[in-house]
Structure 1
């Protein structure tokens, strides 16, 4: 068989969200001093890799791919960059859980039972991992995320066709706009799926036109790129504070898991509103019923912003071991998109 490229990939998902992990066939980024620089190197110079793996016919809209690389931070055991359909994410919870699971279950990082601790270097900063392990299986991954904080609460955003919408803007490792689904007459359920995606994308684009948050420690990270529909926040029968959410990921699909960085952004909002305290457990559920178990481990400052230190816990499962190849005669070396699966609102 002829191939211009051969990339070794371990298939994985975290609470339903696909986050495959590249473990071979890709050279490291040369001359980079940080994982953010490595991320930008691949985005600006080697983006054909992301297109080949994530777009059809090799990929699909509802998946992500992670690239394991050497760390830049000497405290880290490994580094990785996160490739999504429309961007490279500085940080992602589900992708962190997938990458940690693959590193442990393939032996790239030595598994210690019952607990393995190590650090991962990301474009957003150093992330600490605590994995529960038993009989060679990584049963769960908890990660100490970078600080999360709120840029704005109840910001009025004018959305064409919808009027003025109240939006919270927060950083949780990615930039998020968060909106109460009920405020738009919607509920987080498959029955409202088409409206949730279309209206969520419309509100996000309106936010992008009207407000551009800038990360105070890295001004190259700017602008909202993700959207959270928030469900009711309540105390469950077991006494745990619980909520449902769904994140609309461009180009117009739901995150299948509760979304780690989106959860961090929501925890920052809840803390800013006095609804979630340090060390309180927060259970965040996805549209398919999977959940992350989370807490705020402390507080800090990021620039002028009051910030929380969030910890997220979830589970990952390896689904496949595969080699993705590119035949030299394939007419789609970087794949393609078709509007039935790669939806974008038509009025943007």
Structure 2
């Protein structure tokens, strides 16, 4: 009889980006913190990420969040973020999805009205504010990572495209930020494939000539992301709106505008003197889904002007499920997975 294992999942989406929340089936991981557990999973058990993001179980456009014990006694749960490009230490859409899943599954008890609690990401503690009406999670507001502009208005020659003007901001990962109209895009859904192809070419060209280092974290890897920026519309005092699209991997434009992409955009707007603390930006995706970023504070640190921010969005539960992993399946590779599966 073949070995089989089961994982318990809650599938969710925020702004169209699907996050698969793993709530059971994985044994306790080594590591004194959520960051330490993430590093163990990344280095010793990457099979979980690959299993749930590759065929036959998943697709590269999805994300996975593994619920783990937190190390901080003030937090309610820990979570490890897994995406096709690896293990980001933070993600806005994944945090919104994880918080919603924990509430909807009863792992964090719901309280009517505005409810605050903290989670522990690999990046550290994350303050969550849930808006709950008639027992329904209507929105999640989560802290974004402190964001800043590393490079402003640089240029790169991109084969097949020509000169591209870009800025680079850090918001949990480094983002190239480019003006969509300057590259001929209106940021509509019909452009999705061309946007992905263009973004890949621009990111590769920037990576070929430049590397980026966080002022405290140091080397966090090569530039992974690109955020296309549409025109900014003022919709109220200190409130703005802009169409946006975020590239995360060859062939993949996120269905949402992404939380970290929105944070990066806020950092650039602040760097350019367009907004102050208290300002908000609603980013609108190719599918007309929306996140709202708000600057909560600005401060000077080292050689960077750092923007503290929050991201607000809504997630929906798609499914509660249990998947079966069969060791005899030729499409399943358990070599980097079996030792962390819970046999019980």
* TM-score by shorter chain over 0.5: yes
C-alpha distance in 2 between matches for 1:216 and 1:240: 30
Aligned counterparts, 1:235-314, within 5 A: 235-236=234-235, 240-314=239-313
- CA change 1:139–1:120 in 2 (3 A) is same
Contact 2:197 2:250 in 1 (8 A): no
C-alpha distance in 1 between matches for 2:3 and 2:296: 48
Contact 2:10 2:321 in 1 (8 A): yes
State the SS of the aligned residue for 1:236.
strand
C-alpha distance in 2 between matches for 1:120 and 1:132: 16
Q: Deviations over 1:228-261 (max 9, x none)?
A: 1111112138983110101112132111112100
C-alpha distance in 1 between matches for 2:203 and 2:144: 24
Q: For structure 1, which segment, 182-191 or 232-241, has the greater mean C-alpha deviation from structure 2 after superposition?
A: 232-241
User: What is the aligned partner in structure 1 of residue 94 from structure 2?
Assistant: 95
Report the Cα offset of residue 37 of structure 1.
2.5
C-alpha distance in 1 between matches for 2:148 and 2:73: 26
Q: For structure 1, which segment, 103-112 or 231-240, has the greater mean C-alpha deviation from structure 2 after superposition?
A: 231-240
State the SS of the aligned residue for 2:218.
coil
Query: What is the alpha-carbon root mean square deviation over aligned residues?
Result: 1.9
Contact 2:62 2:83 in 1 (8 A): yes
C-alpha distance in 1 between matches for 2:23 and 2:16: 21
Aligned counterparts, 1:4-153, within 5 A: 4-30=4-30, 32-153=31-152
- CA change 1:219–1:288 in 2 (3 A) is same
State the SS of the aligned residue for 1:146.
coil
C-alpha distance in 1 between matches for 2:91 and 2:168: 17
- CA change 1:15–1:193 in 2 (3 A) is closer
Q: For structure 1, which segment, 186-195 or 163-172, has the greater mean C-alpha deviation from structure 2 after superposition?
A: 186-195
User: What is the aligned partner in structure 2 of residue 223 from structure 1?
Assistant: 222
C-alpha distance in 2 between matches for 1:34 and 1:161: 46
Contact 2:257 2:285 in 1 (8 A): yes
C-alpha distance in 1 between matches for 2:266 and 2:238: 17
Q: Deviations over 1:286-318 (max 9, x none)?
A: 110011122101013444311101111000111
C-alpha distance in 2 between matches for 1:87 and 1:146: 18
Report the Cα offset of residue 35 of structure 1.
2.6
Contact 1:105 1:136 in 2 (8 A): no
Q: For structure 1, which segment, 2-11 or 317-326, has the greater mean C-alpha deviation from structure 2 after superposition?
A: 2-11
Gaps of 5+ in 1: 336-348
Task: Give the TM-score of the pair, scaled to structure 2.
Answer: 0.92
Task: Give the TM-score of the pair, scaled to structure 1.
Answer: 0.91
User: What is the aligned partner in structure 2 of residue 341 from structure 1?
Assistant: none
C-alpha distance in 2 between matches for 1:155 and 1:334: 43
C-alpha distance in 2 between matches for 1:256 and 1:334: 29
State the SS of the aligned residue for 1:42.
helix
Gaps of 5+ in 2: 335-344
Report the Cα offset of residue 274 of structure 1.
1.0
